[in-house]
Structure 1
């Protein structure tokens, strides 16, 4: 059942994979994406010079009122807008009031779902197949990543390079899904401390609503079980197609966190 300890585990899984992802990207020669990670008491601030999106510029963990000035200064020095990601069990009235006084407002919600790992009997669907991605398919992965998320293919090379450094790390798994033998979808999983995080998934627009993401979810839940992970965690937009797919395979809501952005 959902409780504060489980909520803390769900949040830590997201912090773990983001830390590993950002560290790996930052270890590329010359740190071309300008990655920095700053720890302030019980929270973590992520920053990227070249990737301005909130995904790469945010604060996670337990934020105390006394931490806010140091966090604001960190991003101010880098001239970067950023987000606070606050889960319900760590929401504190004085902190939220302090964020409001600093010019932040709650701009969005984001949902974390979970389930126990288990052996999965895959749905029969002769038109769909899923397997782990091979190293020589990272360009294909990057193309599906871009087109499946609405990014320009101009960023394909950067996506490929940022994922190439993750691909070789032992706690990451990459998957590719085929529809009638055509590359159609991708997914990623990170495993740490007995928890598997479903960190990314995308399907090419022309292959959506064919069951690819359901199969990729089932494969990752099964692989988490085979690799000794007891819990599987994923994040998505509330009531999105991803949300429905996760519930379809037995995942349920752990919490819906608040995103606080600069007004």
Structure 2
């Protein structure tokens, strides 16, 4: 299959893949008994608003998919978060960044605060060969305590939060489209990776390596493993997000992904 060239339609398909996996994630958190994290998903026209009370980070309190079609709903979106006493971010992709929309955001008190990269590539039908000492296996349900620890160590979070991380990810296990992996370096658990597959797109939703095991090729191995899994599942595309010009973006490009776009992050003043 020929590598697809970037078009407006493809860019919006890449954006929708991110909306889909984040919606699935937040809804799974919401469906925990009693909704202890206070998770919600609300749509405003073609835009999707995510909110998680106990997760104040931008990723879980964001509006995705907004275009000039939602200009008239801006006040409703602001009110949604104001009622929950939560700051939030709007994520705007280039193909939807019209003058009218950006002027509306500026006039409504928002300012641009950054960029974030979205990359895309093709699934890999050939089983990957890992670097020396590196092995990867798909996770089992009983691995989530270990997952929580590796997630925290790999992202710099306090280990005291490992059980919360485990609980908020375990709800995804067995949910359609989700797969979890643990990576080992020289036989020691060294990192984790996650993917979500829907609408023939595989999203590389998360990966982290414990600092002591970095620069051994585990992140690249995680990429190739998930690209292979995408091929086995019959996906057409692989999509990932990363901080602009970061090590993660560099790894994705070396694995064969191309830059689709850099989306703009807007936040309230």
State TM-score, norm by structure 2. Answer: 0.96
| Alpha-carbon distance in structure 2 between the residues aligned to 1:227 and 1:205 | 31
User: Number of residues paired by the alignment?
Assistant: 263
Q: Is the 8 A contact 2:179 2:194 kept in 1?
A: yes
In structure 2, the residue matched to 1:21 is: 25
In structure 1, the residue matched to 2:175 is: 169
Quote the offset at 1:169 in angstroms.
Answer: 0.8
Quote the offset at 1:123 in angstroms.
Answer: 3.4
The equivalent position to 2:242 in structure 1, one of 233, 236, 243, is 236
Q: Deviations over 1:231-252 (max 9, x none)?
A: 0000000111110110111000
Q: Deviations over 1:152-201 (max 9, x none)?
A: 11211111001111012131000011000000011000000100000000
| Alpha-carbon distance in structure 1 between the residues aligned to 2:130 and 2:154 | 24
In structure 2, the residue matched to 1:74 is: 80
After TM superposition, list the pairs within 5 Å mapping 1:117-136 onto structure 2: 117-136=123-142
| Alpha-carbon distance in structure 1 between the residues aligned to 2:176 and 2:268 | 37
The equivalent position to 1:160 in structure 2, one of 152, 163, 166, is 166
In structure 2, the residue matched to 1:31 is: 35
Q: 2:106 is paired with a residue of what secondary structure?
A: helix
State TM-score, norm by structure 1. Answer: 0.98
Does 2:241 correspond to 1:259? no
| Alpha-carbon distance in structure 2 between the residues aligned to 1:177 and 1:145 | 12
In structure 2, the residue matched to 1:49 is: 53
| Alpha-carbon distance in structure 2 between the residues aligned to 1:121 and 1:38 | 40
Q: Structure 2, unaligned stretches of length 5 or more?
A: none
Quote the offset at 1:117 in angstroms.
Answer: 1.0
User: Which consecutive segments of 4 or more residues in structure 1 shift more than 6 A?
Assistant: none
| Alpha-carbon distance in structure 2 between the residues aligned to 1:85 and 1:175 | 28
| Alpha-carbon distance in structure 1 between the residues aligned to 2:108 and 2:212 | 44
In structure 1, the residue matched to 2:103 is: 97
Q: Structure 1, unaligned stretches of length 5 or more?
A: none
